[in-house]
Structure 1
């Protein structure tokens, strides 16, 4: 038989277990609801915290759209402003006042600097201005006389020469457009040559320009870049081209009598039928000695078929691989010139001074007046 005290203790233990079971059941029955409430509160709090970020994102999107529209409006306004400036400059070009015309010329220069897309149009307008105000007469070149181009024409030449060259060629170096200065009268042209940041003379950009039939007698074209330019039948008598670049230029039939071409780069140029009588292609014009320091023209691979080079100063000139077929070199000074692999077929070298000239691999078939000791160069 169980004692009363032991029975009482068992009842207390049973009641405590029953109480724990009830609490556990109650906790399990209400737990999910409480967790669900907590979860909802968490999501609400999270959403509330995201609202400022969403508002900022919307504001940023709106700002981006506004800036894009503003930039578009600004571009339209700028183009409208350039159009207004362009029309005003064109009007000024037609003025009877020199000062007003000069203002129009330099206004077009500024437009060309500000807007690359308008450079082609500006070049076309300025080229037409020169053709209109300084044309070679239909009857032909005027008699030789002291002459200087008008001030506004010189200003246009300066503006054209200072334009950016990078905007006018494709990636492979082909011209997108050309300045057309055909048959213009620029006799005696003189213009200041600016300096680069390094202090070197700045080249005037006339690459690929059309100067066919132009009158350039006595013009100073120092440091001009005439690469690929068309100068066929141009009158360039007495022109000064030291340090000029005429790579692959076309000078067929051009008159270069008494021209000064010291240190000019004429690599690959075509001078077929050109007249270079008494031309000087060496800076050391006043001396009879050729030194390594003297600067001679580079006529490597140049075409001089049938060209008149009689009495020309070609001392130390590079004529490697040059085509001098049927060329007249009578009386020319070729001392120290490099004619390696040049084609001198049927050329006239009567009276030419050729001491120190290099003729290794040169073709001398049918050439006249070649010193006997030079015949060894013929293959």
Structure 2
């Protein structure tokens, strides 16, 4: 309790004492008047009233009644005063308790706010430290990755140089070294996408150098050339911005089954007797190439360039020649059973020898979906078929225009 609040309380206590004394004195006066008031006021002595003093008794009774009423009123006022004093005291106490409770609440809130602020500051500091640790870890990881990449690049470069060195060994007895170089390049190509195109071009150049056409009747493909072909045929499937150039190469009896060599340039190359079963050769260039006696069952030649390609006795069972450019292609004696020719251009292609031998295995239904001209050499049973004859006239009309 403060000094400011103690001073009014002192005055209230003093006022209460004075008021109490005043009320007590007033009560004493009323009591005295109650007993001796008639005698003092009217000269009537209540103790000596007889039967014949009725009017005086009435006066005495009225005066006493009035005094009694005053006394009761004073008592009521006193009770009201003390009730009010008690109420004010209790109210003041309640207000003090409320003020104390409010003060404690404010102190508690302030303490909580302080604690919350400290917690937030600690959390922000911890978060900042965590972010710094993460950034440091990220920088360290980047540095580690850069060092690892540099080390990896250095290793790949070293491996590449060794592989090229082995590949360049052209001694007669260095076949094993060249094979080791080829397979080393295959591993590097699988590990490094960045070196993919370089290695593909290098292997293609190796094939062109070591598989040159030297005579009409050459030897089967060399082991190291076959190894390079196999690596190219099974290379990782990645986007390439160039065409593999295997033109003017002698690839007789090469093993290229299921090879993935789309768009490859085989112009003027010899693939006689090669195994092309299921090979992927769409959009490949076979201009004036030789595929005599090659096995190409199920091979994909869609949209391939087969102009003047020699395919004598080719096994093209189930092969796909859709949209292929096959003008003047030589298909004498080829097995073309179940092959697809939808949209293929077979203008002046040969399916039979001029002497009637080497008849290609093909039927009318297969050729009705292709462009067949009057100059296309077909077996008479096919060419004289009314449906095929009408188809040939329609194709020639589209190419040469209607007859005048």
TM-score when normalising by structure 1 = 0.71
- How far 1:122 sits from its partner (Å)? 1.1
Counterpart of 2:360 in structure 1 is: 313
Q: Does 1:43 align with 2:117?
A: yes
Contact 2:346 2:376 in 1 (8 A): no
Relative to structure 1, the CA distance from residue 61 to residue 323 in structure 2 (aligned partners, 3 Å threshold; closer, same or farther) is same
Separation (CA, whole Å) in 2 of partners of 1:20 and 1:365: 119
Contact 1:304 1:327 in 2 (8 A): no
Please give the secondary structure, in 2, of the residue aligned with 1:2.
helix
Counterpart of 1:143 in structure 2 is: 216
Q: Does 1:254 align with 2:309?
A: yes
| Between structures 1 and 2, the one with greater helix share | 2
Contact 2:308 2:327 in 1 (8 A): yes
- How far 1:30 sits from its partner (Å)? 6.4
Contact 1:314 1:332 in 2 (8 A): no
Counterpart among 227, 239, 249 of residue 168 in structure 1: 239
Please give the secondary structure, in 1, of the residue aligned with 2:23.
coil
List aligned pairs for 1:278-317, cutoff 5 A: 278-282=333-337, 296-310=338-352, 311-316=358-363
The structure whose RCO (Cα within 8 Å, separation 6+) is larger is 1
Separation (CA, whole Å) in 2 of partners of 1:266 and 1:15: 113
Please give the secondary structure, in 1, of the residue aligned with 2:165.
helix
Relative to structure 1, the CA distance from residue 22 to residue 206 in structure 2 (aligned partners, 3 Å threshold; closer, same or farther) is closer
- How far 1:313 sits from its partner (Å)? 1.8
Contact 2:267 2:285 in 1 (8 A): yes
Separation (CA, whole Å) in 2 of partners of 1:94 and 1:76: 27
Contact 1:222 1:243 in 2 (8 A): yes
Please give the secondary structure, in 2, of the residue aligned with 1:91.
helix
- How far 1:86 sits from its partner (Å)? 1.6
- How far 1:134 sits from its partner (Å)? 0.8
Ranges in structure 1 where 5+ consecutive residues have no aligned partner: 170-175, 194-202, 283-295, 335-348, 368-379
Relative to structure 1, the CA distance from residue 11 to residue 66 in structure 2 (aligned partners, 3 Å threshold; closer, same or farther) is same
Relative to structure 1, the CA distance from residue 27 to residue 226 in structure 2 (aligned partners, 3 Å threshold; closer, same or farther) is same
Relative to structure 1, the CA distance from residue 333 to residue 215 in structure 2 (aligned partners, 3 Å threshold; closer, same or farther) is farther
Please give the secondary structure, in 1, of the residue aligned with 2:335.
coil
Counterpart of 1:292 in structure 2 is: none
Contact 2:348 2:377 in 1 (8 A): no
Q: Does 1:177 align with 2:225?
A: no
Separation (CA, whole Å) in 2 of partners of 1:179 and 1:98: 24
Separation (CA, whole Å) in 2 of partners of 1:114 and 1:212: 31
Instruction: Please say which structure displays the higher CA radius of gyration.
Output: 2
Counterpart of 2:28 in structure 1 is: none
Counterpart of 1:55 in structure 2 is: 129
Relative to structure 1, the CA distance from residue 2 to residue 281 in structure 2 (aligned partners, 3 Å threshold; closer, same or farther) is same
Please give the secondary structure, in 2, of the residue aligned with 1:362.
helix
Counterpart of 2:329 in structure 1 is: 274
Separation (CA, whole Å) in 1 of partners of 2:217 and 2:98: 124
- The count of residues paired between Structure 1 and Structure 2 equals 313
Separation (CA, whole Å) in 2 of partners of 1:241 and 1:11: 121
List aligned pairs for 1:161-240, cutoff 5 A: 161-164=233-236, 166-168=237-239, 176-190=241-255, 193=257, 203-240=258-295
Separation (CA, whole Å) in 2 of partners of 1:236 and 1:10: 128
Q: Does 1:65 align with 2:139?
A: yes
Relative to structure 1, the CA distance from residue 34 to residue 358 in structure 2 (aligned partners, 3 Å threshold; closer, same or farther) is same
Contact 2:374 2:392 in 1 (8 A): no
| Deviations 1:220-250, CA, capped at 9 Å, x for gaps | 2222111100010112222221111100100
Relative to structure 1, the CA distance from residue 111 to residue 80 in structure 2 (aligned partners, 3 Å threshold; closer, same or farther) is same
**RMSD, matched Cα:** 3.4
Ranges in structure 2 where 5+ consecutive residues have no aligned partner: 1-21, 26-74, 353-357, 397-404
Separation (CA, whole Å) in 2 of partners of 1:362 and 1:14: 123
